[in-house]
Structure 1
């Protein structure tokens, strides 16, 4: 199957999650992505593990976001290696990096220098907090960015204090934004035939992700979000009944809906609490509490059999085991196998994008450090004695 980015050459000077996840998206859409890594140890993400899981010396996390790529090992402080990389840059369409501000300038691979080597290059950068300002040199780490962006005050209950999100959401969203910026830049370059600079930051991505609630804050007299005191409440800015409720044997998610209709369906009298107007907001916690007590009386399955036929938006709350085993998961085919070696494969997710009704699958594993130096030197006629 022809993929939309076939023929595109991307050089990835990135580590950890945000930049490499963008590279993965580009690779899945057909781009040729070459990681530029330090010799021997490679990029730092090779040793960044979740649950201390490693596959053939590299973290499972690294394999997850660096499949379908090649690796070129180069010491950028070594002039021969740097010259070799510059030869690759001259032939590339895109380069990405997430070094702190000033690092690429010291190496001589800042935007102006790279543009002099390749006038059509898309130069895409990820920083933690932008290139200037009081936080410019601060470590761009996901939990720190969550904490500095206000995000930690949206989840959990009012008496919990700040609650971090259980995913690297800043990295993931920033990787998505980097991909979007690169694709937009490619369209602009196709019109102008000129280089384009793309810049994203973890902080800006995390703030943008909160556009609904930040807009509310900025236009509501700058009142802070008011999380509910009721366990399971789903949103600091939404009214009852939005949330997750404990049942007799599990949990039930209930989205927005007609409160009177829901109350009648489950047999919960809220007539003294919900009196129309703003009472679904003003009496949110009281209504949530009343519903919480009622939902404990039946099993989740029983509630679903009552609510679903009434077109009330609700769902079972599944853990990974039940979700993965559900027919809906199998129908989507969201997982795939990656062949790490002749005797070893790992299961991971695939690209969520379909092109012309076809899934973007790839069994090509993450590369070993410098695995493609010889091949690339020969292909691009690079003379480099150190590689």
Structure 2
């Protein structure tokens, strides 16, 4: 199967997560990604995640987001290596970087300079907070961006204080949005400078809550005190402990729940506005009742009556489930030397087919000789 971006060459100056996740997706879609790494230590994520399991000599974090890329080590402050980078960029279609604002300019690779090298080049960049303003020079680290964006007040219950997401979502959203911008630029056929900041990505992610904030007189959203799951959702929306696990309930008629749970008082709340204003009382009643029996028991009586619910799975349970297996979301990739590891595949399907690649993440400077010969470096 031919891939949509076959023939596109991406020169990738990114490291850590936000940039590499964008070039990973471009690679999944068929682009050839040449990863430019620091000569001394390469991408910092090869070693910086000390708590991460080592996989094929690097961190599993690095392996997961840098598969199917080529590695070339260059020192952009060295005149000879800089000349090699210029030759490569001259033959490329896209340049991507996530240095702090101003760094590429100081290295002599501003957008204007890159366009002089290659008049058709598309340049994509990710920063923490944009190129202007009092935060522009601050480190664009995921937890810090989550904290500044207000997002940490959207999860959990109200008594918990701010609750960050357990994944680096600011990095991931920014990387995904940069891909959208780069694809739009490639479709336009014009040299384009595409900018995304992690903070703007997080603000866009909160479009619903922020729109309501401005329409509602600037009031801070109040989360549930009981089983908080979404500050804008009324009861029964939440996760509930059962006798042997947890149950997630998204929505359902209060009349129906009143009957099924033998809690007649719940029928008094069968109105959407009341379900929001009285959500803590409703959730407390559900919490007290659902813990008395098993998850399977509640599913057996809820699902036939159109209560939207599911069991809460851990990774072991999810990976063993037929629903996961049907997705075919895993692939085995191989690194130079024959080392194999299992990782996820691109989640996109086109014409019903998933995108997979057999190539693992590159070893540091693995492709120098081949690239030097091919691109006359």
Q: TM-score range by the shorter chain?
A: over 0.9
Whole-angstrom CA distance in 2 between matches of 1:273 and 1:48: 55
Which stretches in structure 2 are left out of the alignment for 5+ residues? none
Query: Which among 340, 346, 350 is matched to residue 345 of structure 2?
Result: 350
Deviation by residue 1:245-277 (Cα, 9 ceiling, x = unmatched): 111111110002222222222222235851636
Aligned to 1:299: 294
Secondary structure at 1:92's aligned position in 2?
A: coil
**2:242 equivalent to 1:242:** no
Contact 1:8 1:32 in 2 (8 A): yes
Higher mean Cα deviation, 49-58 or 268-277? 268-277
**2:203 equivalent to 1:207:** yes
Aligned to 1:228: 224
Which stretches in structure 1 are left out of the alignment for 5+ residues? 383-387
Secondary structure at 1:255's aligned position in 2?
A: strand
Deviation by residue 1:296-338 (Cα, 9 ceiling, x = unmatched): 1211101111011112110000000100000111111111112
Query: Which among 328, 340, 343 is matched to residue 333 of structure 1?
Result: 328
Contact 1:35 1:70 in 2 (8 A): yes
Deviation by residue 1:181-221 (Cα, 9 ceiling, x = unmatched): 111111111xxxx3011000000001111111111111111
What TM-score comes out, normalization by structure 2 length? 0.97
Contact 1:27 1:33 in 2 (8 A): yes
Secondary structure at 2:265's aligned position in 1?
A: coil
Contact 1:16 1:44 in 2 (8 A): yes
**2:284 equivalent to 1:289:** yes
**2:112 equivalent to 1:117:** no
Whole-angstrom CA distance in 1 between matches of 2:101 and 2:79: 22
Alignment of 1:343-382 (within 5 A): 344-382=339-377
Deviation by residue 1:110-150 (Cα, 9 ceiling, x = unmatched): 10100111111000000000000000000000000000001
Aligned to 1:39: 39
| TM-fit CA distance, 1:59 | 0.9
Aligned to 1:385: none
Whole-angstrom CA distance in 1 between matches of 2:150 and 2:224: 17
| TM-fit CA distance, 1:54 | 1.5
Higher mean Cα deviation, 22-31 or 253-262? 253-262
Cα-Cα RMSD: 1.4
Secondary structure at 1:364's aligned position in 2?
A: coil
Contact 1:36 1:71 in 2 (8 A): yes
Whole-angstrom CA distance in 1 between matches of 2:183 and 2:326: 29
Whole-angstrom CA distance in 2 between matches of 1:347 and 1:33: 21
What TM-score comes out, normalization by structure 1 length? 0.95
Secondary structure at 2:333's aligned position in 1?
A: strand
Whole-angstrom CA distance in 1 between matches of 2:46 and 2:163: 28
Contact 1:95 1:123 in 2 (8 A): yes
| TM-fit CA distance, 1:157 | 1.3
